Structure 1
Amino acid sequence: MPIRLPLVAINPGNSGGALIDMDGDLIGVNSFILSRSGTSSGVGFAVPAATVRRVLETAVGGGRAVVRPWLGARTQSVTAEIARSLGLALPQGALIADVWSGGPAERAGLRQGDVVTSVDGRPVAEAASLTYAIGTHRPGESVRLGVRRGGASEQTLTLRAEAPPATPARDQQVIAGRNPFDGATVVNLSPAVADELGVDLFSGPGVLVTNIGRGYAMNAGLKPGDIVRAVNGRRIGSVRDLVGVVGAQLPAWQVTIERGGREITGTFRT
Structure 2
Amino acid sequence: GSPFGLSSTVTLGIISALGRGNVGIADYEDFIQTDAAINPGNSGGALVNLSGELIGINTAIFSRTGGSEGIGFAIPSSIALDIVDSLQKTGKVVRGWMGVAIQEITPALAKSFRLPEQRKGVLISDVNENGPSHAAGVKRGDVVVAFNGKEVQNVSQLRNLVARTIVGRDAQVKVLRDGKEQTITVKVAERPTDEILAKKEPSVPKEPVETVKPPDNVLASLRVQGLDAATMSQLNISAKITGVVVTSVESGGSAEAAGLQRGDVIQEVNHEVVKTLEDYQNASSKLKKDELAVLLLSRQGNNLFVAVNPK
Q: Which amino acid aligns with 1:35?
A: S
Residue 153 of structure 2: SS of its match in structure 1? coil
Query: Corresponding residue for 2:178?
Result: 150
Q: 1:148–1:62: structure 2 CA closer, same or farther, 3 Å change rule? A: closer
What displacement does 1:25 show? 7.9
Query: Corresponding residue for 1:246?
Result: none
Query: Corresponding residue for 1:47?
Result: 75
Q: How far apart are the structure 1 equivalents of 2:189 and 2:96?
A: 5
TM-score (norm: length of structure 1): 0.54
What displacement does 1:158 show? 2.2
Q: Deviations over 1:9-57 (max 9, x none)?
A: 2532543234467999865321122233555423212224454233201
Query: Corresponding residue for 1:70?
Result: 97
TM-score (norm: length of structure 2): 0.48
Q: Deviations over 1:77-98 (max 9, x none)?
A: 1111111112221373221122
Between the aligned residues of both structures, percent identity stands at 33
Q: 1:193–1:11: structure 2 CA closer, same or farther, 3 Å change rule? A: same
Q: How far apart are the structure 2 equivalents of 1:86 and 1:107?
A: 23
Residue 61 of structure 1: SS of its match in structure 2? helix
What displacement does 1:146 show? 2.2
More divergent stretch after superposition (14-23 vs 130-139): 14-23
| Superposed counterparts of 1:120-131, under 5 Å | 120-131=148-159
- Please tell me whether residue 193 in structure 1 is matched to residue 202 in structure 2: no
Query: Corresponding residue for 1:162?
Result: 189
| Superposed counterparts of 1:10-21, under 5 Å | 10-12=37-39, 13-19=41-47
Q: 1:8–1:144: structure 2 CA closer, same or farther, 3 Å change rule? A: farther
Residue 193 of structure 1: SS of its match in structure 2? helix
Residue 167 of structure 2: SS of its match in structure 1? coil
1:111 to 128, 139, 157: 139
More divergent stretch after superposition (18-27 vs 130-139): 18-27
Q: How far apart are the structure 2 equivalents of 1:35 and 1:163?
A: 35
Residue 58 of structure 1: SS of its match in structure 2? helix
Q: Which amino acid aligns with 2:111?
A: R
**Equivalent residues of 2:47, 2:54 under 8 A apart:** yes
Q: 1:79–1:145: structure 2 CA closer, same or farther, 3 Å change rule? A: same
Aligned length: 182
- Please tell me whether residue 261 in structure 1 is matched to residue 300 in structure 2: yes
| Superposed counterparts of 1:24-63, under 5 Å | 28-37=56-65, 39-63=67-91
Q: How far apart are the structure 2 equivalents of 1:110 and 1:133?
A: 17
2:107 to 64, 80, 83: 80
Q: 1:67–1:124: structure 2 CA closer, same or farther, 3 Å change rule? A: same
More divergent stretch after superposition (75-84 vs 143-152): 143-152
Residue 74 of structure 1: SS of its match in structure 2? strand
Query: Corresponding residue for 1:137?
Result: 165
Structure 1 gaps, min length 5: 166-190, 208-228, 237-259, 263-270
